[in-house]
Amino acid sequence: MSRGKESKPHIGIYGRRNNGKSSLINCLAGQDIAIVSGQAGTTTDPVRKSFEITGFGPVILVDTAGIDDSGELGTKRVERTLRTLDTIDLALLVVTDNFWGESEDDLVSKFRLNDTPFIIIHNKSDLSVPNAGFIKKVKERSGADLFEFSVADRRNFEELINLIRITIPEHSLRAPALLGDLIKYGDIVILITPIDVEAPEGRLILPQVQAIRDILDNDAVAIVLKEREVDAFLKKTGIRPALAITDSQVFVKADASIPNDIPLTSFSILLARFKGDFENYLKGTPKISELKDGDRVLLLESCSHHVACDDIGRTKIPRWITNFTGKKIKYDVVAGLDMLPRPITDYALLIQCGGCMITRKQLHNRLQPAIKAGIPITNYGMAIAYVQGVYKRAIAPFVEEAGDEENYL
């Protein structure tokens, strides 16, 4: 499966072959971005398209293969279609010709299992208007009202846009602040950003860019420094920042450079609170101390990237954890939203990256199997802080006010 590339709301289009799913996407987009054909099965794999729905806003629409596909290849296509359910914020189930069967029942069950809101659209209503009996059947089988629509004459188009607007979860649309509750007007925030072999050529990594933008949005001041410049800068200027944020890989250096009375955390931990399951991360991180010989640890990256010789997820974190615990531990790394190499119950711990390249819904769905199985979870930055002895300080800005930081150590 392709990785989630953006944090815009993801809307999945589902239904049988030749029900007009691709035509619906083109209609919503106001342009031909999906291949349309009278031959059933034109869409063979999930296809993601980023664009703006007129009157709504930017989204990622996911066009999927028909749920009634058959044969050996068809079965694989249906499996890929169903795997998209973990990545979407809203599902549009397209039906036609007053027909509803077991495939639709199965999809609705999976929507509910994933806690995914959905809209059932009767397309091609210019050719076959939904009758009263079918409308009642859909309500009984799904618990949802049937929405009458036609790509051909665009009937109820504005009503459909409004229905999408009010049905999609609010958290998918709003952009919560990374730092809004930690800083105030005029505060100075130091960002410690090492430039090493893993730094992208000529630019900063996304979490660093997000932090800078959020600081500016909150009318505060961002000062960006490499780790070796921090001591001289503080001594020369006498500036006392309200907060310091560091790359996790130089946590120890940052801890030594930033005075103890100045809050210090990392970009990865900010993202963990912003997008991940922070409460379970807090509970799971100390479980690193309980790892035993032969345990297996799963590291989840949210994106696919060039692997450097000293890669953070594949090399550094495993090395640091092994050195910290003194145990013989096995590690698996999965990039993007690929399938896991073995059952989740084979793992003693799951470590998730910040997830800057996927949506909050995708990240939470990625973590749910481990949480349901009672497997501890943590985050790259929190795990690094823990094994390097700066965990208490790193989480303090987020738990200190509640007076319960000792509960997570």
In a domain, 347, yes or no: yes
Other Cβ atoms less than 10 A from the Cβ of 235: the count is 9
For residue 41, what pLDDT is reported? 46
Question: Is the pLDDT score of 232 beyond 60?
Answer: yes
In a domain, 374, yes or no: yes
Give the whole-number percent of the chain exceeding pLDDT 70.
86
In this structure, the answer to whether residues 19 and 158 fall within a common structural domain is yes
Listed residues 123, 145, 173: the one ending a domain? 173
Give the Cα separation of 273 and 39 in Å (integer): 47
**How many H-runs (helices) and E-runs (strands) does the chain carry?**
15, 14
In this structure, the answer to whether residues 27 and 152 fall within a common structural domain is yes
In this structure, the answer to whether residues 286 and 168 fall within a common structural domain is no
For residue 406, what pLDDT is reported? 57
In a domain, 240, yes or no: no
For residue 4, what pLDDT is reported? 35
Mean pLDDT of 60-74: 84
46 pLDDT band, cuts 50/70/90, is: low
In a domain, 268, yes or no: no
54 pLDDT band, cuts 50/70/90, is: low
In this structure, the answer to whether residues 289 and 146 fall within a common structural domain is no
In this structure, the answer to whether residues 15 and 164 fall within a common structural domain is yes
For residue 37, what pLDDT is reported? 45
Which tokens hold the place of 42? 């034109």
Listed residues 122, 155, 173: the one ending a domain? 173
Listed residues 112, 141, 173: the one ending a domain? 173
Distances (CA, A) of 10 to 52, 87, 144, 316: 12, 7, 20, 33
In a domain, 382, yes or no: yes
DSSP labels, 9-64: PEEEEEESTTSSHHHHHHHHHTS--S---SSTT---S-EEEEEEETTTEEEEEEE-
In this structure, the answer to whether residues 167 and 301 fall within a common structural domain is no
For residue 91, what pLDDT is reported? 95
Q: Total domain count for the chain? A: 2
Mean pLDDT of 342-371: 88
In a domain, 116, yes or no: yes
Which one of 1-10, 196-205, 270-279, 372-381 scores highest in mean pLDDT?
A: 372-381
Give residue-wise pLDDT tens across range 147-181: 999 999 999 999 999 899 889 876 555 555 688 88
Please say whether the beta carbons of 179 and 186 come within 8 A: no
In this structure, the answer to whether residues 161 and 284 fall within a common structural domain is no
For residue 38, what pLDDT is reported? 47
Give residue-wise pLDDT tens across range 237-265: 999 999 999 998 899 999 999 999 999 99
Give residue-wise pLDDT tens across range 117-148: 999 999 999 999 999 999 999 999 999 999 99
* Domain containing residue 93: 10-173
185 pLDDT band, cuts 50/70/90, is: very high
In this structure, the answer to whether residues 167 and 31 fall within a common structural domain is yes
CATH number for 26: 3.40.50.300
Question: Is the pLDDT score of 34 beyond 70?
Answer: no
Average pLDDT value over all residues in the chain: 85
In a domain, 4, yes or no: no
Give the Cα separation of 211 and 217 in Å (integer): 10
In a domain, 269, yes or no: no
In this structure, the answer to whether residues 169 and 285 fall within a common structural domain is no
Orientation angle between helical segments 380-387 and 267-275, nearest 10 degrees: 130
CATH number for 342: 3.40.50.11410
For residue 409, what pLDDT is reported? 61
For residue 407, what pLDDT is reported? 59
Give residue-wise pLDDT tens across range 274-328: 888 899 999 999 999 999 999 999 999 876 544 444 578 889 999 999 999 999 9
Question: Is the pLDDT score of 1 beyond 50?
Answer: no
- Give me the half-sphere count of Cα atoms (radius 13 Å) on the Cβ side of residue 306: 7
Question: Is the pLDDT score of 24 beyond 80?
Answer: yes
For residue 42, what pLDDT is reported? 46
In this structure, the answer to whether residues 285 and 152 fall within a common structural domain is no
For residue 115, what pLDDT is reported? 86
